[in-house]
Amino acid sequence: MISILGFAAIALLVLSVYLVARRRTPAPVEAIPLPPPRSSWTANIGVSDATPQPQERIALVERLGVVGSAWCVDVLERALEDEHDARVRDAAWRALLALRTEPP
């Protein structure tokens, strides 16, 4: 009789520990998509849309490379630092390289 009571007490203890532990385990949170990272360099040239698409940013980079004035070089260098999209960074790198090999 004592052993049965002891077994029941242990079972109750295990059950209560399990229930407490289960209550403390956080429920899985549904994944929330994060906004795409911003590339702040476009704000420096007064682009009204704060987050233009990568293709638009590549076109911006190309036009900066075409104009090639000192302020364009500054913006391209900023793009190289701030830009999160590798394709845009690559375009900025190529534009800067072309401008640095430009005749004086």
Partner 1 sequence: MNTALELTPRLLARCARLCDHVSVSGLLPHLVVLSWLLPQHTGSQQLNERLAHLARTVRERCEHLYVRLPSSPSAQDVEDASSRNATLELASMILSVQEDDAAACHDEAMPCVTGEIARDRVSALLFDLRSAPLGSIVPWIFFGELLGTSIAYRSTRSDALAPYRALLLERFTALAEQSPQIFWQSLVRGGDAALRERLRAFVDAASGAKALAATGA
Residue with Cβ nearer partner 1 (11 or 98): 98
Least Cβ distance, residue 100 to partner 1 (angstroms): 12
Contact between 50 and 42 under an 8 Å Cβ cutoff? The reply is yes
Of 71, 88, 72, 89, the C-alpha closest to 80 is 89
Gap between the Cα atoms of 61 and 55, Å rounded: 10
Where do contacts with partner 1 occur on this chain (CB under 8 A)? 45-48, 59-60, 63-69, 71-72, 75, 102-104
Residue with Cβ nearer partner 1 (12 or 67): 67
Least Cβ distance, residue 60 to partner 1 (angstroms): 6
Residue with Cβ nearer partner 1 (28 or 103): 103
Least Cβ distance, residue 101 to partner 1 (angstroms): 10
CA-to-CA dists, residue 5 to 14, 17, 38, 90, angstroms: 14, 18, 65, 74
